Structure 1
C-alpha cells in the first residue's frame, strides 16, 4: 500500500510517498481502507518538527479521516465489515476528563497518522459517522468538529439568546459558528477578508467584523452587544488575540482557548481585565469519544454539513498540505483516496 510519510528530516519537502505492507488487525482491532482525510494546522506543526523534534522517522502524519471496515481482528463487537468509521483523536479518551497518560495516544503524533491507503485501529478508538455525509465531510469531524463541539456545547453550554464570538473562518471556527447557531445563539465572527465575512453571513453569522479594518475589534463587539460583551469567545489566535478576547467578554463569560495561530505565549496578559470580568479561561484539546458520538447525533438529526474549501486527490497530498499552509482556505481542506 502507499502512504505519505515524513522522511529524512522535517518540513514539507521531506513528505514523500512510501510503500508499506498492508497491516494486519490484531485482537480487538479493525483494518480500515481509508476513503478521505482532512487536514489541520497541527499536521503542519508535526511535519515541521514543532510538536516533537525527536519524532522517529519515517512517520505518517495527519490525524483525521474516515474509512471503510474491510478486516476484523478477533473479539471485535462494535463494528461490522463495510461500515464507515472515523478514528477519535485521542485513542484512549473514551469519556470523562482526559488524563496526562492519554496524550501519548493521539493520532498523527505520537501515533502514526492516517495519510495511508490502509490503517489498523482498535475498535474502542473508532466511531460511526453520519450516513448523510460524504466521505470528505465525514473526514472533517474528528478534530475540528469535536473541538468546536467541546468548546460551544460541552464546556460553553451555549443556549438560545447567548452571544458567541468566533475568530476566523477555518474548520474549527465554522463548526463553532454552525453549532452555536444550532443552539440558538447570536454569533459575531471576525476575519481579515470581506469575502470570507460575506460567506460566513451566508452560513448564519449575525454580525461580522473585519479585524484588519477594525483593529480594536473588542470595542466593536461591545458596541454590537450594547456594552455587555460576548458570553463565549472561541479564541483561535492565541498570543495576539487573548487580551482583546478578554476585553470583549461579558462579566462571568468564558473564553475557549483553542488555537495558537499567532503564537503560544502571551506577553503582558491583562490580569486586571480577567479579574474584573470574572473570566473563565477553558483550554480545549479536541475531546472524548462520548463527545464525538453526541456531536454526530446532533449533526445527523439536523442534517448539518461541514464546510469544505477544497478536495485534493491522494496523489497530491503534499500540494494539499502546502495549500493549507497558505491560510487562505474557508473551512476544511481534504484529501480523497
Structure 2
C-alpha cells in the first residue's frame, strides 16, 4: 500500500497559554533523506513536560507553533540512503534528543516537542542514529503505547537506576509518586531483583500499585510526613540504595535522609516546592550520607538501546493506564487527564 502524501499534524498555535491552543492541520508527509528513516507514528506517550510547554511553564526555549510531545513508537515505512540496520516494517522507538547518542545531554536545543518539532503527528523523518529497533518485532508483547512510554519515563527511570552506579539484586529502590517514571522504575527494579518502596498521598493508589505491580512496601507521605524514617525502619536502619526524586526542593531532604551511605538520589522532577527560608542544605545532607545527588535529563540513544533490550529480554508489560484517540477532542482530553493527576502509569494517544 502506498504512503499518502499528507498527514494530520497538531501544533501549539500562537501563545502557549493553554492545552486548548493545540490545533490540527493537514501538512505534507516528509521524505527520508540520506541517513534518515520515515516512520509512521503509532502511539505517543504524554509527560508533564508536555503540559508545561503547552501552558507556558517550561523554562527552556520552545520554537513557535511547535508540534508537541517527545515520546513515540511506530513502524519504519521508508529507509533513506545509508541508513543501516533498519528495514521497512521494523517496530521502533524514537529518542527524545536526536543529538544525544551517548554520554550526558549537552544542552536543551535538540529535544523533540520543544526546541524542535515533536511527535503529535502521523509521520516523521528522523536520523536513523536516533532510532532504536524493538527486538522481536511484531512478536514482542509490548503494545505501541507501552513502547512509546519507554522514551522518557522508562529511560529516565533506567538512567536513575543504572546510569551511574548500577542497581544490584537485593538492593532497595524508593520511588516517589505513581506517575510513569516511578511505575516504570518499580517494574525495572523488580525485574533486576531489587526490593521496592513507593510513596503517594493516596492509599487507594498505593493499594492498586502494590496489587498490580508488586511493590514490596508502600508509604503514604500525607499520613506519614517523615516518610524517610519509615523507609529506614523498613530497611532495618540501613536506608535505601536508590531514590528517584520527583519532588525537588520540597522532598530532597527526606530523600537524602532515607538513603543508605553511598547511595544514589536521582533528581528528576520539581513537583514539590519549598519556601526560600525552608530550603534544605543539600550539600550538608549529601555529605552526612556520603551519597550521590545527581540530576537526570532522560538519557542517550545508547542507554535507550540497553533499556529496550532489557524490557524485551524480560518480557515486561509496561504501565499504560489509559489510551486516547487522535481526534482533537481526544488529544485535548488526554492532556487534561494527565493534568488532573488521576493516572497511575502512563497516558498515551493512539495515532490512527
- Runs (4+) of structure 1 exceeding 3 A deviation are 52-56, 263-267
Structure 1 position 299 matched with structure 2 position 299: no
1:39-78 alpha-carbon deviations (Å, 9 max, x no partner): 0111111112222576332210000011111122222222
Offset at residue 18 of structure 1 (A)? 1.6
Let me know the Cα RMSD of the aligned residues.
Answer: 1.7
Tell whether the 8 Å contact from 1:12 to 1:47 is kept in structure 2 after alignment. Answer: yes
Where structure 1 has 5 or more consecutive residues not aligned to the other structure, the ranges are none
Picking from 123, 143, 149, the partner of 1:134 is 143
Q: Distance in 2 between matches of 1:265 and 1:286?
A: 27
- Equivalent residue number for residue 110 of structure 1: 115
Q: Distance in 1 between matches of 2:307 and 2:275?
A: 31
Q: SS in structure 2 opposite 1:119?
A: strand
The runs of 5 or more residues in structure 2 that have no matched partner are 1-6
| CA spacing shift, 1:328–1:157, aligned 2, 3 Å | same
CA distance in 2, matches of 1:265, 1:2: 44
Partner Cα distance (1:199, 1:298) in 2:
25
SS at 1:104's partner residue?
Answer: coil
Q: CA deviation at 1:299?
A: 0.7
**Is contact 2:247–2:270 with CA below 8 Å preserved after alignment?**
yes
Q: Structure 1 residues 131-140 or 316-325, which shifts more?
A: 131-140
Cα distance in 2 for partners of 1:14, 1:249 equals 43
* Residues 325 and 156 (structure 1), Cα distance of their counterparts in 2 relative to 1, 3 Å cut: farther
Are 1:243 and 2:228 matched, yes or no? no
Q: Does the 8 Å CA contact 1:145/1:175 hold for their aligned counterparts?
A: yes
TM-score (structure 1 length as normaliser): 0.95
Partner of 2:201: 192
Q: Distance in 1 between matches of 2:220 and 2:61?
A: 40
Q: CA deviation at 1:98?
A: 3.2
List per-residue Cα deviations over 1:254-302 (Å, max 9, x = no partner): 1011111224997522343222111210111111111111111111111
Q: In the alignment, what sits opposite 2:185?
A: 176
Match of 2:90 in 1: 83
Match for 2:325 among 299, 302, 313? 313
Aligned to 1:268: 279
Matches within 5 A, 1:1-337: 1-10=7-16, 11-51=18-58, 55-100=62-107, 103-130=108-135, 131-202=140-211, 203-263=213-273, 267-270=278-281, 271-315=283-327, 316-337=330-351
SS in 2 for 1:260: coil
Q: Confirm or deny: 8 A CA contact 1:6 1:59 kept in the other structure.
A: yes
CA distance in 1, matches of 2:267, 2:275: 12
- Under a length normalisation based on structure 2, what TM-score does the superposition of the two structures give? 0.91
Cα distance in structure 2, aligned partners of 1:256 and 1:228: 19
Contact 2:63 2:115 in 1 (8 A): no
